[in-house]
Amino acid sequence: MAPVSRALIAITSAHAPLYPGGKETGLFITEALHPFQVFRQAGFEVDLVSETGTYQPDWLSQQKDWLNDKDRAEWEDHTSEFRSKLDKLLKPSDIEPAKYGLFFASAGHASLIDYPDAKGLQEIASHIYTSGGIISAVCHGGAIFPGIIDPSTKKPIIDSRRVTGFTTRGEEEENVLDTIKSWNRPTIEATAASCGATYVSPAGPWDAFTITDGRIVTGANPASAHVTAEAAVTAFGKL
């Protein structure tokens, strides 16, 4: 039986100082909003979930360079479908994995903090993958992959796969590598290597870029959220 045309977008619950003046990272808004828009346009029902049922928006993601007027209007409108679901964020205990055919890990640097230990989200994703669904992640969302296990191999589902995600070069350009080290977390490139995956870099840290390898679809950065979601829909259509 074909997987259900219903998508689940994971949201980071974490937040921490990252930017000048102590401004914090959290959910990078468009990394959830753009996939939400793509999935709804493709006819999917869409739900939003975080490990604790809470979230905080990333400071940078709310700035004009990263949130255009149209997206800002949807973000600030608490009656919009996206914002109302974000305001009533689900927890893993609210989710029946069998109702979903596509799992998408949105991000923000904060996902490096909570996704590696987000057992509830990881179990949901593992169930969706085992049931034949699509697993996708953008930017730092790949921090969740070490805990998404393929029961047939007992290894992370990205083992021997080609994946992308936010570049270490990008972390260096943002001067945040030391902060990530203080969180005792690896970069996305290091995470991919630890899972037996082959990391493929975009031409530049901020270029839109996505890779599909079987039922795994990954994207490199905030600019890639839209095209990664489109690729996930395309992969779903081939199931």
Please, is 219 exposed, middle or buried when counting C-beta atoms within 10 Å of its C-beta (0-12, 13-18, 19+)? buried
Beta bridge partners of 163: 199
- Asked whether residue 2 carries a pLDDT value surpassing 90, the answer given is no
Domains with residue ranges and CATH for the chain: 6-237 (3.40.50.880)
pLDDT interval class at 1 (50, 70, 90): low
**C-beta atoms surrounding 175 within 10 Å:** 9
Mean pLDDT of 80-106: 98
Q: Determine what percent of the chain is predicted with pLDDT higher than 70.
A: 99
Q: Please state, in angstroms and rounded to a whole number, the distance separating the CA atoms of residues 162 and 80.
A: 36
pLDDT interval class at 15 (50, 70, 90): very high
The pLDDT of residue 149 is: 96
140 counts as catalytic? yes
139 counts as catalytic? yes
User: Among the options 31, 140, 189, 195, which is catalytic?
Assistant: 140
9: which 2 tokens? 């977008």
Residue appearing with tokens 């990008």? 170
Instruction: Flag the least confident range among 3-7, 36-40, 207-211.
Output: 3-7
195 counts as catalytic? no
User: Among the options 15, 24, 109, 139, which is catalytic?
Assistant: 139
- Asked whether residue 4 carries a pLDDT value surpassing 90, the answer given is no
37: which 2 tokens? 């828009």
User: Among the options 24, 171, 189, 230, which is catalytic?
Assistant: 171
